[in-house]
Copies of this chain bind each other. A is one copy, B any other.
Amino acid sequence: MSSQCHPEQGKRSQDDYQWRTDQGFGSRLLRPCRGMYHDVKRRMPYYWGDLREGFTYRVLSGTIRIYFINLLPAMAFQLDMSYNTGGFFGINEALLSSALAAIVFSLLSCQPLTVVGVTGLISLFNYTIYDIIKIYDVGLYPQFMVWVGIWAAIFHWMIAIFNLCDYMRTVTDFSSQTFGFYVGTVYVIKGCEELSIGFHDGQISNGFASALVAILYFLTVYLLEQMGQTTYTRTWLRTFLSDYAYVIATVWWTGFTHFPGNLAYAHFEYLPTTRPFYPTVDRPWVMKFWSLPVKWIFIAIPFGFLMTVLFYYDHNVSSLTAQARNFPLRKPAGFHWDFFLLGCTCLVGGVLNIPLPNGLVPQAPVHTDSVTYYKVESVVIETKNPDEPSIIRKTTTAESVAEQRISHLVMGLALVGTMTGPLLTVISLIPRAIISGVFFTVGMGSILTNPILTDKIAFLLRDPKFRQPSDPLNTVPRRQIWHYLFWQFLGFATSIAISQTVAAIGFPILITGLIPLRWKLLPRLFTRRELEVLDSLTATSEVVLVSLGGKPEMPEARRDLQMKQNRQSLEDGSGDVLEGTLKNDQGDLRQRK
């Protein structure tokens, strides 16, 4: 799928942040701040343009969409955290964290398309730590969390300074799609958990009514968004319905639950809010974290480290998918600088004891998508057989992306607005059922459009008679596709399993581990040709990879090259047969069969 070449063989761009494959960990440590310096230098010239270009209609509709799909899950995760941490995190904390992150990242980051906010994983992380601390002394939790944030900030800065985000260039669909699938599933599970809470305390009718509203909300958004894919009605109406699907569905179903009659007897539960701008529990915004016993400050180190691993993967993969190869981007990325900035928000968030924000996985690519200009055309495909009428096909091409800071910034300001009294009252009108609906919508949206499902599983399940002959998967043995999926599902299933236990804290190691697995193990199990069909770098655009030191050489390509060299030296009568060469020959044989 992607053509491989040595970065040093390609045309050397004017940018001198380039690494060769043989320049590993060591050489990165030796040049501190080099990545950040180049990130800022590269992006700076675009800054005013980023602001000026944000005043278009597409950006407005994108802003509204991202506001809804950021705000509603954030409140949901807050409910989840609140439920699991004895009410410590409330709606004000979630809103403050989201707003802080959005304003800082929209104004100061190199990648303003990567929306930042409160994720499900941080919620999982926070209450798993709560479960652990509870074993000793639950009163230590708030101060302990401050220290986890401080340590995380320090680790973030170190990663940014020593250019370690570079390794993100090795992220392929293998891990990013597995992670997307995992996060989508976590959303759906959270939606169900949220619904099951509706049944507590004998509130059976609230439970059923909420389940009903959540499912209808999901169907409404889903059908409205699908509308954009059809060829019905004019383009502007299709786009309108699809752009404002969340707004329409939220207003409609919120109104529905306020109907009189039987609906009133259901006693829907609504979102709990407290007085604006104050922490939910009775505490100052900054707690006396310095009074934590020294022992606990040190215990916080591994937790801060794990949080850093989580964000290293989660935030950077958000940026990668928000800048994935299907978006025609023109402005340079900046992973190192953004990760440094994330360290700063960790510090502030930690000190204020709010959930730490980071890149939103299913939402970030949705944000880029909603500010992308698509050209919709009808293509007439003439058929060879004159009796067969020609076919009209709808093609949608991404023409350009409104790469700007305004949608992210306005979303942040809107979140600040939401923290004020009057808008908090509006929030309190939204039934909790809609939160479940949003979970289903965002989660299923991420699952149903995941290429694991739409490409590979769809290919395997399709009746062989109806396979499109042009599909490159036809050239890979079916067994190898299953084999490839097996590794993805293994990663997915272990992540899901661990998330349900107190070991959830170790989950970032597991998910990040998928990258070396792909890099070290898979080339031994698959031929180069198979991997080129099955997998590809998540972001291939030069403007994205430039921040990470250029396009990496894929291990399977390197192996292939090695093999050729060995063969050459064999012919020259001077080399040994390496194990790798044998492996590759076997692969080639298998393919020929």
Identify the A interface with B (CB < 8 A): 199, 202, 204-205, 207-209, 211-212, 215-216, 231-235, 238, 262, 265-266, 377-378, 380-385, 388-392, 394, 458, 461-463, 465-470
A388 and B378 in contact, given A233-B461, A461-B233 (Cβ under 8 angstroms): no
In contact, B383 and A463 (Cβ under 8 angstroms):
no
The answer, among B207, B209, B233, for a CB contact under 8 Å with A262, is: B207
A14 to chain B, nearest CB (A): 35
Docked pose: A274 CA to B29 CA in angstroms: 84
Task: Tell me the complex Cα distance, A470–B391, Å.
Answer: 9
**Of B265, B383, B463, which is within 8 A of A233 by CB?**
B463
The reply to whether A466 and B378 contact each other, CB–CB distance below 8 Å, is yes
Provide the bound-state CA to CA distance between A231 and B464, in Å: 9
Q: Across chains A and B, which 4 residue pairs bring their CB atoms closest together, nearest first?
A: A389-B470, A208-B208, A231-B466, A382-B384
**Chain A contact surface mostly:** mixed
Give the number of copies in the complex.
Answer: 2
The answer for the CA separation of A233 and B211 in the assembled complex, in Å, is 31
Q: Contacts A381-B383, A384-B382 given; indicate if A469 touches B212 (C-beta within 8 A).
A: no
CB closest chain-B residue, reference A381: B383
Bound Cα distance from A44 to B232, whole angstroms: 50
Q: How far is the CB of A234 from chain B (nearest CB, A)?
A: 6
| Complex Cα–Cα for A233 and B377 (A) | 32
CB atoms of A389 and B232 under 8 A apart: no
Instruction: For the complex, give the distance between the alpha carbons of A463 and B237 in Å.
Output: 10
A463, closest chain B residue (CB):
B231
Whether A468 pairs with B389 at a CB distance below 8 angstroms is yes
**What are 7 sample pairs from A and B whose C-beta atoms fall under 8 A apart?**
A204-B205, A215-B215, A233-B461, A378-B465, A380-B469, A389-B468, A392-B465
| Least Cβ–Cβ distance between A383 and chain B, in angstroms | 5
A265 to chain B: which residues have CB within 8 Å? Answer: 202, 204
B204 touches A262 (CB 8 A): yes
> How far, in whole Å, are A63 and B493 apart by their CA atoms in the complex?
42
Given known pairs A388-B381, A467-B392, A468-B389, the reply for A208 and B212 (CB within 8 Å) is: yes
Q: Which residue in B205, B211, B392, B469 is a CB contact (below 8 Å) of A469?
A: B392
Contact flag A232-B383 (CB < 8 Å), given A204-B262, A205-B204, A262-B199: no
Q: In the complex, which residues of chain B have a beta carbon less than 8 angstroms from the beta carbon of A469?
A: 380, 389-390, 392
CA distance A468 to B380 in the complex (A): 9
The interface residues of chain B lying within 8 Å CB-to-CB of A205 are 204-205, 207-208
Q: Looking at A208, A216, A381, A392, which has the most chain B CB atoms within 10 Å of its CB?
A: A208
B462 and A232 within 8 A (CB)? yes
- Given A207-B262, A208-B208, 6 extra CB contacts under 8 A: A205-B207, A212-B212, A238-B463, A382-B385, A383-B383, A392-B469
